[in-house]
Structure 1
């Protein structure tokens, strides 16, 4: 397989279009057409990880965090980022990053945290807006069902766990083919009326190119009339954080002890305990202070995240407990998620879990 082919598999899980605007995701170093001898999955791409890839004969590193985040004006080896890039290029190793594309996936970072902590039926905590689009087109009645089927096969018409969703209205369309046209029906220079169905389907924005290709291929008309609108409906399948329920309500202290043990956290920094049972938990891997208000509004008893500053703990306002377990600790199981996913998708291929510990924070 090539780097590009493996990237396509990864983008089925976390489309790059779902990443935040500030992020730097996708292929950061390397040739997309290079044949892959093996894949090494890591949280961070450090020099030790590149050395590990060389040792294991892996010429593709799939990393959660991007080693190149800001623009590089020079690559001279003066810092750890430049040294990683130089070593990767020198050894023909490609580096691919997923970061917030995987953060925003409903099967990504936060779903893995929920799995580890036994949080059931998790839902997106902060759904993305502006990512759902609606396609409206017009089709002859005889071809309408075939066109809808083509659109569904391309990914249109999915709402939550429902698929093949559409709405249609029958009406009468008109058109007059001009000189040089080759109409499927009607005659050049004559006004023609056709019984048509107005078809509406929604879709996630990253599928637009594929859906339009399917529309043009399935539609009998030489010129296909269609319109696209962006909806403000929240996308329940894309967004930051997750919230769900514990199977059994549990004491706050006991729950935090479980979190510390299961998430392999050295320290749990938390706001004032409220002497209440915990049954609804919100999680957000990485820096999650921006989601405190959303977790409170969703009725979470505990919000698990990292990188909370002193004054941000006050935002709990005795409505929930904020628990900061560490940045690395919230994301450490991400590489296990990716290895399991790749092995399932491309069995009998060399997929390795990095053994390098990349957490830069140490505890005394």
Structure 2
């Protein structure tokens, strides 16, 4: 059984929810339709003509990419231009293109966590806050006989997290009343007769990112035909989510030694460096893409080095004066996302018995050559 397009994207948005994207960003479906069965998914950093040909060769009709193919408003699509030809080829081969960019950067378990992991940054946290997760209070009334079943479903779907504590809830026993109307099929009682049932009121906190998932799990586990529940918006802030990651290394190394870790972990042959190769590195920061403008935040958080792409000359000078080392592995270092998203999506589809194949693009989209 092949997965539908909306199903594939639903899984992708569990990893990288769209609401995490920065306001200026262009994420989501950019070309084509998701209203179809997906024969294959190709995960790419960028979409160019070689990547499109790769998708065609693999029989993929969906590309999930990190960088947008349409970022600035189009005035026209001329099919005798290189970009126009690529759009035409995608449309003729019915290949949809979906973009997951800053939402993947910001997400827990996303781009910046992957980069921090391969660099040996432990317990990395964002150093540029962007988004505070909204919280809701879920209240649902459950018959005592199904209390544990519904509670487990809610908590296992992601509700009940407060700080470093999970499975937090409050449960109060009481009595519920209801009068089933004509044509109903109540779990207990009969139509037209007032029913009084022993119930438990469950209260728990639900983060915005899993709200739909929690409600669906609750309704599926609940025995009642009509589930009585409330969702209240809270003024409390949830987790702070943001760009980049900063944390300590397992043990101090020199900048020169850390450069080799960067090259190996991000699979790059060359890096640009600002700093003394013998200086000690204890606390490191990383930001995928172009993050040099955030060097001052990394300094404020105590980083000895910032790893990011597209560092310009004057920012490098300012960073050196501020006492922080810089390592630029290039923007293309974000290619680490291809294998990670492929693994994520493959496991999700396999768990639900879908036969849609998922492939990590083998095309090298690095635009620069080092001579």
Instruction: Give the alignment's TM-score, normalised by structure 2.
Output: 0.78
For 1:167 and 1:317, the matched residues in 2 are separated by 53
Give the aligned CA root-mean-square deviation in angstroms.
3.9
Residue aligning to 2:364: 357
SS in 1 for 2:69: coil
Find 2:256's aligned residue among 253, 257, 260. 253
For 2:152 and 2:264, the matched residues in 1 are separated by 49
Q: For residues 67-102 of structure 1, what are the alpha-carbon distances to aligned partners after superposition, in whole Å with 9 as ceiling and x for unaligned?
A: 122333432236544332221001111212211221
SS in 2 for 1:328: helix
Q: 1:233-248 maps to which residues of 2 (within 5 A)?
A: 233=237, 235=239, 238-248=241-251
Find 2:56's aligned residue among 50, 54, 57. 54
SS in 2 for 1:333: helix
SS in 2 for 1:255: helix
Task: Identify the range of structure 1 (290-299 vs 278-287) with the bigger mean alpha-carbon deviation.
Answer: 290-299
Gaps of 5+ in 1: 189-193
Gaps of 5+ in 2: none
For 1:173 and 1:317, the matched residues in 2 are separated by 68
Residue aligning to 1:101: 103
Residue aligning to 1:268: 272
Residue aligning to 1:166: 169
Q: For residues 35-69 of structure 1, what are the alpha-carbon distances to aligned partners after superposition, in whole Å with 9 as ceiling and x for unaligned?
A: 22222221101112111222232222221212122
Task: Identify the range of structure 1 (82-91 vs 207-216) with the bigger mean alpha-carbon deviation.
Answer: 207-216
1:205 aligns with 2:208: yes
Task: Identify the range of structure 1 (14-23 vs 115-124) with the bigger mean alpha-carbon deviation.
Answer: 115-124
Residue aligning to 2:297: 294
For 1:139 and 1:56, the matched residues in 2 are separated by 50
Residue aligning to 2:32: 30
For 1:284 and 1:132, the matched residues in 2 are separated by 24
Between Structure 1 and Structure 2, how many residues are aligned? 359
Q: For residues 104-146 of structure 1, what are the alpha-carbon distances to aligned partners after superposition, in whole Å with 9 as ceiling and x for unaligned?
A: 1222212222233233333333454332313153758958766
Residue pair 1:48, 1:356 contacting (<8 A) in 2 also: yes
Q: Shift of the alpha carbon at 1:6?
A: 2.1
SS in 1 for 2:122: strand
The structure-2 alpha-carbon separation of the partners of 1:362 and 1:138, relative to structure 1 and needing over 3 Å to count, comes to same
Q: Shift of the alpha carbon at 1:147?
A: 5.7
Find 1:77's aligned residue among 65, 76, 79. 79
For 2:73 and 2:293, the matched residues in 1 are separated by 25
Residue pair 1:130, 1:231 contacting (<8 A) in 2 also: no
Residue aligning to 1:14: 16
For 2:309 and 2:73, the matched residues in 1 are separated by 26
For 1:166 and 1:21, the matched residues in 2 are separated by 34
Instruction: Give the alignment's TM-score, normalised by structure 1.
Output: 0.80
Q: Shift of the alpha carbon at 1:334?
A: 1.3
SS in 1 for 2:362: coil
For 1:100 and 1:222, the matched residues in 2 are separated by 39
Q: Shift of the alpha carbon at 1:362?
A: 2.9
The structure-2 alpha-carbon separation of the partners of 1:266 and 1:207, relative to structure 1 and needing over 3 Å to count, comes to same
For 1:80 and 1:12, the matched residues in 2 are separated by 34
Q: Shift of the alpha carbon at 1:305?
A: 0.7
